Structure 1
Amino acid sequence: MTHRSRLSGFIIDCNTGDLDAAADFWAQALGCTVADRDAGDATAEYQMLGDTPGDLHIEVQKVDHPSRVHLDIEADDIDAEAERLEKLGARKIAFVKRWWVMEAPTGQRFCVVKMKYPERGAPAKTWD
């Protein structure tokens, strides 16, 4: 199935009890601002950074697993993109709310999320 995808951005997973402090640290470390302290929802705690280099999407997320950084790939059809990535050797770990958590053949976890602003940023790659 023809679809489009591209790098969405980076999520800084923080195993912390103080998401505000974590977001403040990363904003200052990266020379950004905290654009939205309430970017999450009832079951996920995120804070979105603003004034990022190249308008890159960067969020700080409170997690229960060890701290790490993961990337998101955004697509206009997340199921088609997950299938394309499986053919390259990735595997699906779980469908969470509205995105796929996947694992690369080399063990890195990443997410496939719905494309929010197709008109912004670098053009998406079209896949057949």
Structure 2
Amino acid sequence: MHHSRLCALVIDCKHQDIKADTLFWSGALGKPVVSFDEDGDGKYAELATSADELKVLLQRVDHEPRVHLDIETDDLEAEAARLEKLGASRVAKVRDRWWVMQAPSGHRFCVVSRQRESFGPHLNTWD
């Protein structure tokens, strides 16, 4: 048995100045900045959200700008396999912490390790 839930809205920014992009989205969404450099590599920033809201992350990317969703889980392999049975495909594993996947619709999304201490009330349980 494993668990998963929708956890994050990720704004993929092709612009190289993630700080400027973060300030824009902070102002647009009314969410304060938690970090301009979440992992220390200059690629990820985070806006503050309440525990019952989706996390809002900004990610510096090389592809065209878009928005994607993250699904967090306590078992990466089990969740990726479950989604494959639904028709998704694995694209790439990143840092042993998440899978980039593609839905049958062509949309990319990520399956990530648990992001918050508590999964909260919107948790799915899978066999």
Q: Residue 10 of structure 1 aligns with which residue?
A: 9
Letter of the 2:26 counterpart: A
Alpha-carbon distance, 1:88 to partner: 0.2
Count matched residues.
Answer: 126
Q: Residue 100 of structure 2 aligns with which residue?
A: 101
Decide which of 30, 52, 55 is 2:53's aligned counterpart.
55
Alpha-carbon distance, 1:120 to partner: 4.7
Alpha-carbon distance, 1:56 to partner: 2.1
Q: Residue 110 of structure 1 aligns with which residue?
A: 109
- 5+ long unaligned stretches in structure 1: none
Partner Cα separation in structure 1 for residue 74 and residue 52 of structure 2: 21
**What is the TM-score normalised by the length of structure 2?**
0.91
**What is the TM-score normalised by the length of structure 1?**
0.91
1:40-51 alignment runs, 5 A limit: 40-42=39-41, 45-51=43-49
- 5+ long unaligned stretches in structure 2: none
Sequence identity percentage: 48
Q: Residue 72 of structure 1 aligns with which residue?
A: 70
Alpha-carbon distance, 1:35 to partner: 1.0
- Are 2:113 and 1:125 aligned? no
Partner Cα separation in structure 2 for residue 99 and residue 5 of structure 1: 13
Partner Cα separation in structure 1 for residue 8 and residue 35 of structure 2: 16
Alpha-carbon distance, 1:84 to partner: 0.1
The 8 Å contact of residues 44 and 58 in structure 2, kept in 1 or not, is answered as: yes
The 8 Å contact of residues 5 and 125 in structure 1, kept in 2 or not, is answered as: yes
Letter of the 1:13 counterpart: D
